[in-house]
A and B are shown apart, each in its own frame.
Chain A
C-alpha cells in the first residue's frame, strides 16, 4: 500500500470532499479535522504529501510544521487573504493552495508527488 496523501482541515466538509475527489481518482487519502491528531499521524507514518489548512483551533499550519520532526512535502491551504506573506521565508513550506481552488489544481499538485504508475 502506497503512502497516503494527508489532508488536515478543521472544516469537515472540506475533508469529506477531498476524500471523495482523491478517492475517485484512486489516490489514498487520510484526513484530520483535529490538527493534533494529524500531527501525531504525520510523526508516525510515511506520507506522500501533506495539505494543511492554515487557520485552525489550537494551532495553525506553521505551528504544526514546527512541531513535525520529519521532512515531508508540506503545502499550506488557506482562505486567508495574505497567506503568501504568512508562510514566506519558511523553507519547509513547499507551496500554497489558496481557497477556493479548483479540484483539478489539487489533483495536479497531489499527483506530482505520487510515484508515476507503471
Chain B
C-alpha cells in the first residue's frame, strides 16, 4: 500500500498538503520532528493532550523549548531514535513543570529521507492516566480486602451451597487447626460438623433460604486433631458468576465458654455458700426437730421395758408404735436435710413437682416457725411440675420462709401463709409467701434483691439470700418479686409449668 501511494504521481504541493492534513487529523497525540527535534507537524490531539494556553504555534520550535520539563531519560530515548531505533513503552509517566504526573503509552520511531537516512522522529502518545488511576484504585481496594481477609481476628469462609469450601482466611484455619494446603479444596463444611447438629443445621439452612442470612448460630467444629471447638457463626448469601455462595463469619467461643463455665461455677458456689449459711441459722430448729423424736424413742424404750416385765402386750405395742413413728420422723428430717445440703451442681434438670418442693421446704422450716409461736398455714392446690433443680427451688422457699419467720415473730398475732396454685391457664405456677410483718417500703421492692442488702441484725443474715434466690429463679425462667400492693409482706415466685 505504501508502495502504491508512492507510485501515485502527485504534485509536491499536494503531497505537502496531504502530509499536513494527515498528521493533523490523526486521532492520536502525534508529532513529527526533524533531526534537531524541531516540530515539523503535529496532530490536534497532541496539543489537546500536552499543550496549554501558551502552546499554540509550535511548528518550528524545539520540543525541549516547548516542554523544558522533559527529563534526561526521554532525551536519551530521542537520541537513540535518531540513531535509528524504534522504541515504545506501555506505561510511563511525564512529570509536568507544575508537578502533575501524566501517564502515557508512547512510541518513538525514526523517519527517513529519500536516501534512507534518519531525518527525524515520529512520536505517538496516548494518555492512560485514567486507566492507571482506576487500576491503582482497584489494586488498593484489593489489597485492603486481602489484608482484612488475612488479618481479621474473625474466621471468614466462603463455601458453596453443597458445603465445599472455596476460601478460608488464616483465622478460620487456626480455629479448625488445618494448614492452608490441607484446607485448599476438598474440605467441606459437613466433614467438620458433628452429626448431632444435623437438625440445627437444617434450621439454619432454612433461614438462609428464606432470609438469605443465618445465625447467630452456636455450634462446634471438629478440629483436625479430632477435638471439638465451640464457635458462633453468622452468614449470608452472595451471587458470583451465576452461582450462589455462602459467606460465613466464625467466632471462636472457647474463651467465652470458659468464662461462662467460671461464672456458672461461681454461681453454684454462691448458692451452696448461701445454703450453708441458711442451714447454720436453722441448726437450732433442726436440732429441736431431731431431739424431739429421740426423746420419744428414749421414753418409749423405757415403757416398753416395763410393759415386757409386766406382760402388758397393749403397752408394749403402744411403745413400739411410738418408737417407730419417732424414728421415721427423725429419718425424714435427716433425709430432707441431706437432700437440701447436697450440692446442686451434679443434679440434672428434671421435672420437679412443685408440691413436693413446698413440702420439703416447709418440713425444714416448720419447727423453727412453730417454735417461735408463729401460726403457719400452707395451702397447695397445684399439681404442676416445673423444669429445673428441686434442691435450688427448695432453697428459694426456705429462704422466703426464714425471712418470713424473722419478720413475723416480732408481730402479734404472728402468722405465715404459703400458697401454691396454678395461674395463666395452668401455664405457670405461683407460690406466694406472706407474713404478718408490715409491708416493706415501696423503694425497698428492688433493693432487697441486691446482694448484701439486709434488714436483719448483724450476724443474723448474710444479705445474700434474696439476691441468690432471684438468680436461681431467673435460671428457671421464672420471676421472684415483692408484691408491693399487698397489705402485708408478700413475696411472689412465679415459674413456667411443664405442659403435658
Contact = CB atoms under 8 A, between A and B. Distances in A.
Interface in A7-56: 10-11, 13-14, 16-18, 20-21, 24, 54-56
Nearest to A82: B284
A70 B370 CA distance: 27
A13 B302 CA distance: 14
A81 B289 CA distance: 11
Contacts of A103: 298-299, 301-303
A17 B299 contact: yes
A107 to B, nearest CB: 9
A57 B296 contact: no
Interface string B312-328: 00010011001001100
Contact of B294 (A56, A63, A99, A104): A99
Given A17-B322, A57-B370, A79 B303 contact: no
B325 A13 contact: yes
Contacts of B283: 81
A20 B303 contact: yes
B288 A78 contact: yes
A55 B287 CA distance: 12
A20 B77 CA distance: 134
A68 interface: no
Interface residues of A, number: 31
A100 interface: yes
Contact of A16 (B298, B322, B373): B322
B291 A100 contact: yes
B373 A59 contact: yes
Interface on chain B toward A: helix, strand, loop, or mixed SS?
Answer: helix
Contact of B303 (A21, A59, A82): A21
Nearest to A19: B303
Nearest to B299: A17
B321 to A, nearest CB: 9
A58 interface: yes
Contacts of A55: 288, 367, 370-372
Interface in A67-98: 78-82, 98
Nearest to A53: B292
Contacts of A98: 291
Contacts of B310: 24
A102 B287 contact: no
A39 B287 CA distance: 26
A31 B367 CA distance: 21
B27 interface: no
A100 B284 contact: no
Nearest to A11: B292
A60 B373 contact: yes
Contact of A18 (B291, B299, B370, B371): B299
B334 interface: no
Nearest to B288: A79
Given A55-B370, A57-B373, A79-B287, A14 B292 contact: yes
B166 interface: no
B319 A10 contact: no
Given A13-B322, A80-B287, A99 B295 contact: yes
Contacts of A10: 370
B103 interface: no
B302 to A, nearest CB: 3
Contacts of A24: 303, 306, 310
Interface in B383-407: none
B279 to A, nearest CB: 14
A17, A18, A58, A98 pick with most chain B CB within 10 angstroms: A17
Contacts of A101: 295, 298
A14 B295 CA distance: 7
Contacts of A100: 291, 294-295, 297-298
Given A10-B370, A20-B319, A55-B371, A81 B284 contact: yes
A21 B303 CA distance: 6
B248 to A, nearest CB: 64
Given A20-B319, A78-B288, A100-B291, A14 B373 contact: no
Contacts of A56: 370-371, 373
Contacts of B294: 79, 99-100
A109 to B, nearest CB: 13
A106 B375 CA distance: 30
Contacts of B371: 54-56, 60
B192 interface: no
B443 to A, nearest CB: 35
B294, B296, B301, B325 pick with most chain A CB within 10 angstroms: B296
A99 to B, nearest CB: 4
B9 to A, nearest CB: 140
The 3 closest A-B pairs by CB, nearest first: A79-B291, A55-B371, A103-B302
28 contacts: A11-B296, A13-B296, A14-B296, A16-B322, A17-B296, A18-B299, A20-B300, A20-B303, A20-B315, A21-B299, A54-B371, A55-B367, A57-B370, A58-B373, A60-B371, A79-B291, A79-B295, A80-B288, A82-B284, A99-B292, A100-B291, A100-B294, A100-B297, A100-B298, A101-B295, A103-B298, A103-B303, A104-B302
Given A78-B291, A79-B289, A79-B294, 16 more contacts: A13-B325, A16-B318, A20-B300, A20-B319, A21-B303, A21-B306, A58-B373, A63-B373, A78-B288, A79-B290, A79-B295, A80-B284, A80-B287, A81-B283, A81-B284, A103-B303
